[in-house]
Amino acid sequence: MKKFLVLCLIVIIGIATFALFNSALFESSPPTIHSKNEIYWNYKDPLKIKITDDSGIQNYRVYMNSSKETLLLDSVNPEGTPKEVEIEIDPPKNTMFMQEDGIEIEIVATDSSLFFGNSTSLKIQAKVDTKRPQIEVIAHSYKITKGGAAFVVFRAIDDNLSNIVIKNGQDEFVPVYFADDGYYAALLNWNIKSEGFSAQIFAKDKAGNVSSAIIPFYRQNKKYRESTIKVDDSFLEGKVSSLIQEVGERELQSFNSLAERLTYINQKVRGENESNILRIGQAYDTGLVNPQNFRLTAFYPLRNGAAVAGFGDHRFFSYNNEIISESYHLGIDFASVKQAPIVITNGGVVTFAGFNGIYGNMVLIHHGMGLMSLYAHMTQIDIKEGDRLEAGTTIGKTGLTGLVLGDHLHFGITIQGLESNTAEWLDKRWLQDNIFRVIENANKLIQSRTR
């Protein structure tokens, strides 16, 4: 019995010893200093650098090295030996350091493992950059209408340029390369759901310096049509319920009322479908076309088709004399004969071809510069994602798929996934005045500078 107890004690001690030596206290890995070896610093914002270690951080020291001097900035023993600390290194106030084009930050960290602790160090080369990018607007559309689009060409220059974006007060647009020496171009729109609009270009460099420039569009407000659509039980039990089953996210029995079914389809599912379009639009191929030669024919999506619903209609759905849902119609509906062939006016690359909820069977075609044409409610799709299509290609047939009552084509235009006033893109004169002339003027100015 005594031998057995001794054996048990030895086993317990062995297990405890094994566990102890495999614990964080005996870990042999040094702390990790999370930073690149080369960074940019604008001398305005503090540098933030994180240190982590499983056993906890016992001490860290921060040095600043110039070509002539080494300075100890900080030596800290964090309270409670945390597993993670974030260091903030303020810009130097020493004149010698401020005159340097680049300085070296050295961080030495020691963890809390037993005995002497594990140590590591990292030398970070910080290139000093205090200059903001330069932005110059070269050419732009004269005006932009609420819900509609515009074009801009501009120049952004910085030795360490990192990011350029155009903001309209609600949405963001990424420009494309236009010409050498820092010239860029972009299509953008005024969101129909936004009352205000202010287009600004923002350029940021690797050091975090930011510049902005206003694009001086003349802003023209536009009031769109509002309508009330009465729905009845047959519509809710028929088309709406059928679409819920096709979407396949919920069972019909999970809804408390017929009205709730419409709210679900017209708001939740519609939102998911629009998010899908946005995701595809934002992932566009920036190199599909040369912006300096960007040309389109005015879209004519359905031969001999009549427009039966316009862009921007604000629709309110009434059931038993009560408004239960609302949405915007973000395209133009064209009707012809049943299952009419859909022939595209402009060539491009198919970025989506499939089922998209309330849009039914839908096709998206990218024509360049983030501009995509959208074809919805199709009964038949004859092309596939990735196909490169020529103008005049038949892509399928009109139909009744999605949230729709009669056979027709819903045709839309998106700019980086955001819906734009479709009617503008059917207008040859609008295209010439607002897109192509801007490109021509920009090309002339750039060419005059390079002579």
More confident residue, 29 or 379: 379
Q: Is residue 162 located within the same domain as residue 91?
A: no
Q: Write the CB contacts of 71 (distance below 8 Å, at least 6 apart in sequence).
A: 63, 64, 65, 92, 94, 97
Q: Quick check: helix, strand or coil at residue 253?
A: helix
Instruction: Say if residue 25's pLDDT is above 90.
Output: no
Residue 362: pLDDT over 50: yes
Tokens at 99, concatenated? 């005159």
Write out the E strands in 190-265.
200-205, 210-214, 218-220, 226-230
Average pLDDT taken over every residue of the chain: 91
Q: Check whether 12 has a pLDDT greater than 70.
A: no
Beta strands in 206-294 (DSSP E): 210-214, 218-220, 226-230
The CATH number covering residue 250 comes to: 2.70.70.10
14-23, 38-47, 116-125, 359-368: which has the minimum mean pLDDT?
14-23
Which tokens is 322 given?
């009560």
Identify whether residues 204 and 269 lie together within a single domain. Answer: no
Task: Report which of residues 150 and 80 the model is more confident about.
Answer: 150
- Please report the pLDDT score of residue 84 as a whole number: 92
With b for 16 or more beta-carbon neighbours within 10 A and e for fewer, the 95-124 pattern comes to eebeebeebebbbbbbbbbeeebbebebeb
The per-residue pLDDT for range 79-134, each reduced to its tens digit, is: 888 899 999 988 888 766 666 778 899 999 999 886 667 999 999 998 989 999 99
Residue 140 lies in a domain: yes
Q: Flag whether 427 is in a domain.
A: no
Counting the structural domains of the chain, the total is 3
User: What does 373-397 look like in DSSP terms, one character per residue?
Assistant: EEEEEESEE---TT-EE-TT-EEEE
List the single range of 44-48, 96-100, 392-396, 432-436 with lowest mean pLDDT. 96-100
Q: Is residue 17 part of a domain?
A: no
Nearest-CA neighbor of 279 among 416, 110, 164?
A: 416
**Band of residue 66 on the pLDDT scale cut at 50, 70, 90:** confident
Quick check: is 49 in a domain?
yes
pLDDT in tens, 212-224: 999 999 999 999 9
CATH of the domain at 170: 2.60.40.10
In terms of domains, do 202 and 246 share one? Answer: no
Check residue 116 and give its pLDDT: 64
254's CB contacts (< 8 A; 6+ apart) are none
> How far is C-alpha 1 from the chain's CA centre?
72
Most confident of 24-28, 77-81, 411-415: 411-415
Tokens of 242: 């059928």
Q: Are 383 and 307 contacting, i.e. CB atoms less than 8 angstroms apart?
A: no
Is the pLDDT reported for residue 21 higher than 50? no
Both 41 and 105 in a single domain? yes
Predicted pLDDT at 279:
97
How many H helices and E strands in the chain? 8, 32
- Reported as a single tens digit per residue, the pLDDT across 270-324 is 999 999 999 999 999 999 999 999 999 999 999 989 999 999 999 999 999 999 9
DSSP string, 313-376: EEEEEEETTEEEEEEEE-SEEEE-STT-EEE-SS-EEEEEEEE-GGG-EEEEEEEETTEEEEEE
Decide: 338 and 398 in contact? Cβ < 8 Å: yes
Q: DSSP assignment, residue 90?
A: P
Residues 6+ apart with CB under 8 A from 107: 33, 35, 49, 51, 60, 61, 62, 63, 87, 121, 122, 124
Please give the Cα distance from 179 to 84 (Å, whole number).
46
Are 359 and 411 in contact by the 8 Å Cβ rule? The answer is no
Is the pLDDT score of 135 beyond 80?
Answer: yes
Domain membership of residue 159 (yes or no) is yes
Interval 333-351: pLDDT, tens: 999 999 999 999 999 999 9
> Do 262 and 395 belong to one domain?
yes
CB 408 within 8 A of CB 398: yes
- Is position 431 within any domain? no
The whole-number pLDDT of residue 147 equals 97
Quote the percentage of the chain above a pLDDT of 90: 78
pLDDT at 177 over 70: yes
Domain limits for position 349: 226-420
Give the tokens for residue 193: 């759901």
Q: Are residue 121 and residue 183 in the same domain, yes or no?
A: no
